[in-house]
Amino acid sequence: MNKTVLITGATSGIGKSTAILFAANNYNVVLCGRRQERLNALKQELGKETKVHTLNFDVRDKAAVFEAIESLPSDFTDIDILVNNAGNAHGLDTIDQGNTDDWDAMLDINVKGLLYVSKAIIPKMIAKKAGHIINIGSTAGKEVYPKGNVYCASKHAVDAITKGMLMDLNPYGIRVGAVNPGLVETEFSKVRFKGDEHKAENVYKGFQPLKPEDIADIIYFVVTRPYHVNIADLIVMPTAQASATIVNKKV
Ligand code: NDP
Ligand code: 8X3
């Protein structure tokens, strides 16, 4: 029987590439996000290859998260793999200049949203004593960079939550790990800079950033190791990047 993967933030970037790769490998896929047109389009595309279900909810909305997971049709309730990927940076400001709505968004989406989705799915994994949770952290969860303050805090929280999940779910044979990317060219910077395409493009100029497909490949690798192998933590950066602030740009 095909395994089922639920991916949050599947309408764009890393989540979308991950959905495409898992569908191509015959996993049943649950696509989550808020942009319905994108969910529909991806369902149409991937539905040619595998079973696909879409869930439209905002991870910040606790009730909506639980309702959405409860609404899964029987073909999709048995979730083998959860990819907690939904998230973004909002703004890039010094702590004194930071916008409190941006702070709320980052902590509510990247931290609390990840917790709500996990809380809705973990009991099902505990009941069957099986499952695999991949949290998408960041190099921003391993180090702090200027003006990154609250985004870095949110990803440090993901790092801590991943470690806690690993410990707490250990008795049930559930695998838990984080994939922590450096600079990946997605809509991430467009969201961070509130639609300013010029600022967003500049982030990835002068070097070869990671592509979302690179991260999807790694997630797929992590998931397809033999059961006794759990990749608990993994950092991946473009070759041109050595840390959050050291990028070998040729411009
Ligand atoms: P994108 O902006 O391309 O994708 C973000 C995804 O998250 C979208 O599918 C979006 O869907 C979803 N999302 C955002 N907010 C919400 C919300 N409130 N409720 C539900 N879904 C939401 O960025 P990436 O693919 O780059 O980001 C994916 C993850 O990777 C994030 O956790 C990010 O922090 C992390 N990351 C990214 C890096 C990068 O350089 N790009 C590096 C390291 C980590 P929709 O808008 O339809 O809801
Ligand atoms: C995304 C990578 O360096 O923009 O998490 O914070 S960075």
The string of pLDDT tens digits covering residues 32-44 is: 999 999 999 999 9
User: CA separation (Å) from 99 to 48, 87, 104?
Assistant: 43, 17, 9
User: What percent of the chain has pLDDT above 70?
Assistant: 100
The answer for residues whose C-beta is within 8 angstroms of residue 14's C-beta and 6 or more apart is 85, 136, 181, 184, 186, 212, 215, 216
List pLDDT tens digits, range 82-135.
999 999 999 999 999 999 999 999 999 999 999 999 999 999 999 999 999 999
The stretch 181-206 carries a mean pLDDT of 98
Q: If you measure from the C-alpha of residue 123 to the centroid of ligand 1, how many angstroms do you get, rounded to a whole number?
A: 25
Q: Is the pLDDT of residue 189 over 80?
A: yes
- Tell me if 176 sits within 8 A of 222, measured CB to CB: no
ipTM > 0.90, yes or no: yes
Q: If you measure from the C-alpha of residue 193 to the centroid of ligand 2, how many angstroms do you get, rounded to a whole number?
A: 13
Q: Is the pLDDT of residue 75 over 90?
A: yes
pLDDT value of residue 16:
99
Question: 66: which 2 tokens?
Answer: 């639980």
Q: If you measure from the C-alpha of residue 110 to the centroid of ligand 1, how many angstroms do you get, rounded to a whole number?
A: 9
Please give the backbone phi and psi of residue 48, each rounded to the nearest 5 degrees, phi first: -70, -20
The stretch 53-76 carries a mean pLDDT of 98
Whole-angstrom Cα distance, residue 117 to residue 41? 23
Strand locations in the chain (E): 4-7, 28-33, 52-56, 81-84, 132-136, 175-181, 233-236
pLDDT value of residue 83:
99
Cβ-based burial of 198 (10 A; exposed 0-12, middle 13-18, buried ≥19): exposed
Whole-angstrom Cα distance, residue 6 to residue 16? 12
The response to whether residue 140 sits with its C-beta less than 6 Å from ligand 2 reads yes
Q: Is the pLDDT of residue 251 over 80?
A: no
Q: Is the pLDDT of residue 220 over 90?
A: yes
Ligand 1 atom nearest 88 alpha carbon: 34
pLDDT value of residue 1:
85
Average pLDDT over all residues of the chain: 98
List pLDDT tens digits, range 18-37.
999 999 999 999 999 999 99
pLDDT value of residue 44:
98
- Tell me if 189 sits within 8 A of 204, measured CB to CB: yes
Question: 53: which 2 tokens?
Answer: 């279900």
Domains of the chain: 4-236 (3.40.50.720)
Helix axes 114-128, 149-169, angle to 10 degrees: 10
Chain Cα centroid distance, residue 169: 20
User: What percent of the chain has pLDDT above 90?
Assistant: 99
List pLDDT tens digits, range 131-183.
999 999 999 999 999 999 999 999 999 999 999 999 999 999 999 999 999 99
Q: Is the pLDDT of residue 9 over 90?
A: yes
- Nearest partner of 157 among 97, 118, 106, 123, judged by Cα: 106
Atom 6 of ligand 2, nearest CA residue: 140
Residue 251 is classified by DSSP as -
What's the first-to-final CA gap in the chain, in angstroms?
A: 51
Ligand 2 atom nearest 244 alpha carbon: 3
User: CA separation (Å) from 166 to 114, 133, 161?
Assistant: 15, 9, 8
List pLDDT tens digits, range 222-246.
999 999 999 999 999 999 999 999 9
The stretch 188-204 carries a mean pLDDT of 98
> Catalytic amino acids?
151
